[in-house]
Amino acid sequence: MSADATIVAAAWQVLAHLGVTLTDLRSHTDGPAALPTVAEYLPRVIAAAGPGAQRTYGTYWQRMAAAWGDRPLDAVAASDVEAMKQQMTTTARSRRNSRNGRHAGEHVIAAARAFYSRAVADGLIDASASPAHRVAKPRRVPSTRRALIPKELEEINAVGRTSGNDVILDALLLRLHTETACRRGGALALRLVDLDRTNGLVRLTEKNGVVRWQPITLDLAEHLYEHAQARGAVRPTDRLLRYRNGQPISSRRYDHLWKRIGERLPWVATQGISTHWLRHTTLTWVERNFGYGIARAYAGHTDSPGSSTTTYIKADLHDVADALSAMTGQPHPFASTSETPNGPATDTLP
């Protein structure tokens, strides 16, 4: 059946208006632009990721590139992501905080989602085309961490300040984390400029770049300053915590510290106790003695738990200083009360 002459004439008029000839139509065979492969796109994902994402997901991104590197982004199926999750869960190394590979499985899916979220943001694929977002993340199981009892904390502090090749550094680390309940990343990021000796404060930069001033005892502030000065910290941006050779410490110091403590206190190794347990210990004590609002501020939590009540119970720096003063038995410039000390053991400095 031939086309209507009127329609054909109209089509020719449109082509003429666009400046397109029949030869152009026949010779133009290009389809939609080809999507990059997983291996080709990965460098862009890494460049756009922050240090934390690179550290957490980097290994899994490289595994994705090794397994699917030559495939276009839209050629990876949800079953491929699921298969890699199962493989990583099965082969995950046993660690002190291991959950039978559960964390590795979670990280595979999180890494794949971060990868494909970038592709969606770049307009390469639709959100509905992401295979990673069609795979369910494993349900989180309750944490085994708990608050340490005073006897346990005393034993840990005793081993930390009497063994190893740098008892001054290790004692400072244990004291800092017990007083502030900060995470490892917050301590590692501390610089000379982040220490306010006069007011007993340290400026912590922790998860998601959240910055806060946290009260510490004047005693700890002075010891931190002396430690930094003795080990070569001069410029304001120099790192505070340092090895004896003057180099800033890394997370490996924590690994060595807890390995050594676990060798001398078998229950530490058996339960997988780590620096984060000190955070649990301090925050539990603060919550029990000063309430949820102050414990939340002490922890540096800024995300909303979904209750409007937190708007009215928000604690300030003075409240946190009150809790610190009560816990350590030492006065603080920002504390408004003098409480009877009954908190976690903090007398750990040599």
* pLDDT 10s digits, 109-146: 999 999 999 999 999 999 999 999 999 887 776 677 88
Spell out the CATH class of 150-328.
mainly alpha
Segment 80-109 mean pLDDT: 76
Q: What is the pLDDT of residue 25?
A: 63
Segment 175-182 mean pLDDT: 97
Q: What is the pLDDT of residue 100?
A: 47
Q: Which two tokens stand for residue 89?
A: 């869960």
Contacts of range 102-107, beta carbons closer than 8 Å, 24 or more positions apart = 102/138, 102/141, 105/138, 106/137, 106/138, 106/140, 107/56, 107/57, 107/60
Instruction: Decide: pTM greater than 0.85.
Output: no
Beta carbons of 147 and 73 less than 8 angstroms apart: no
**How far apart are alpha carbons 194 and 236 in whole angstroms?**
8
* pLDDT 10s digits, 283-322: 999 999 999 999 999 998 765 555 555 556 678 899 999 9
Q: Is the dihedral of CA 98, 102, 104, 107 positive or negative?
A: negative
Burial class (CB in 10 A: 0-12, 13-18, 19+), 163: middle
- What's the half-sphere exposure (Cβ side, CA atoms, 13 Å) at 139? 2
Which candidate, 92, 114, 110, 112, places its Cα nearest to that of 101? Answer: 92
Which candidate, 275, 261, 256, places its Cα nearest to that of 156? Answer: 261
94: confidence class by pLDDT, cuts 50, 70, 90: low
Beta carbons of 101 and 154 less than 8 angstroms apart: no
C-alpha separations of 185 from 59, 147, 220, 275 in Å: 20, 20, 19, 11
**How far apart are alpha carbons 195 and 345 in whole angstroms?**
23
C-alpha separations of 312 from 113, 309, 318, 321 in Å: 36, 6, 16, 19
The answer, yes or no, to whether residue 95 has pLDDT greater than 60, is no
**How far apart are alpha carbons 55 and 109 in whole angstroms?**
15
Query: What are the residue ranges of helices labelled H in the chain?
Result: 5-18, 22-27, 38-48, 51-68, 78-91, 102-121, 150-160, 167-180, 184-188, 218-230, 251-264, 266-271, 275-290, 292-299, 317-328
Q: Which two tokens stand for residue 293?
A: 């609002």
Q: Which two tokens stand for residue 110?
A: 């999180």
